[in-house]
Amino acid sequence: MVSVVLLALLLTGVGVPRWAAAADDVTPAEIVPAVTAAHGGLGTFAVVVARQEQRRTDVSIRAAEALTAQVLARTAGSELADRPFPTASLVKLYLAADVLHRARTGTVALTPDDRAELEVMIRSSDDPVASDVWVRFDGARAVRDVAVRYGLTGTAPPRRWGQWGETTTTAADLARFLARLPVIAHPDDAEALLGWMRTATPIASDGFDQEFGVFGTLPGAAVKQGWMCCLGGQRHLHSLGVVGGRVVVLLSEVPSSVGWNRARAALDAAAAAAVPLLPTC
């Protein structure tokens, strides 16, 4: 399978700290070859790097919209930004964000046990909990609502009922979701979700080692990992995180004949190649 790499840098250009200057000066055309070489051409690989937006209370609505427009206008990459991947466990971010939003707006009522389920679903990527939340809170609706609220054009619920890991999304959509989370979600809900991501457990509830890709490579990152085999004869291994005001999304797809260890090593190498280009605080 031909290796595909997408790198998009979304920069607001507003209030950029001095430690970010070096990263901001590097163009996607300069970064993509390094990331491609580091990943090693294994299967299909997509990466997006974005600047996370920050909620502003000291500007008008029009000014805030202008800042968002600057982010979108400075997107760089290729036509492969909308290449769909099965989300595996990354859909749990969309699911948790929507349930928190509905609770915030009074559409549903969450008990302490419900919130505890959302937390373990994100921190330990618990699949039985995700299945329970998906059924009780209509996960397909959650995916559709998040797509509308965040402007995600390449995200859709699974075609097979209840198979939440088969939800499809793109690297660009995941980056947009995390980049816009602080300005779209209620501040407390955004912080809850990011806080759970910051305290992800090294070992998932099913015993899978989650420390690959962004997790463990970019210190202090708020992370979410995904893995699944074998939809369409493919193995999917994904990693994303937020660190130093940047969003990093790594999506990979390899033939099922490629083992987890080899897929993990390639994703680790790709994440490591990004470390010198990203702020870590």
pLDDT tens-digit map of 15-26: 333 334 445 555
Number of neighbouring beta carbons within 10 Å of residue 194: 18
Residue 179: the pLDDT is: 93
Q: What are phi and psi of 250, to 5 degrees?
A: -125, 120
152 touches 169 (CB < 8 A): yes
Residue 8: the pLDDT is: 43
pTM (two decimals): 0.86
Q: How far apart are CA 131 and CA 106, in angstroms?
A: 23
Residue 24: the pLDDT is: 54
Residue 279: the pLDDT is: 60
Q: Show the low-confidence residues of the chain (pLDDT under 50).
A: 1-22, 27-29, 72-79
Residue 91: the pLDDT is: 98
* Helix and strand counts by DSSP (H, E) for the chain: 10, 7
Residue 275: the pLDDT is: 74
Residue 40: the pLDDT is: 86
Taking only the tens place, the pLDDT of each residue in 75-123 is: 333 335 689 999 999 999 999 999 999 999 999 999 999 999 999 999 9
Domains in the chain, start-ordered, CATH in brackets?
9-277 (3.40.710.10)
Residue 77: the pLDDT is: 33
Q: How far apart are CA 210 and CA 90, in angstroms?
A: 13
Q: How far apart are CA 158 and CA 163, in angstroms?
A: 6
CA 164 to chain centre: 16
Residue 62: the pLDDT is: 59
Residue 225 DSSP SS3? strand
Beta strand residue intervals within the chain, DSSP E: 9-10, 44-51, 85-86, 168-169, 222-231, 234-243, 246-255
Tokens representing 203 are 């070992």
Residue 145: the pLDDT is: 98
Terminal alpha carbon distance of the chain: 37
List all residues 6 or more positions away from 263 whose beta carbon is below 8 Å from its beta carbon. Answer: 42, 43, 235, 237, 252, 254
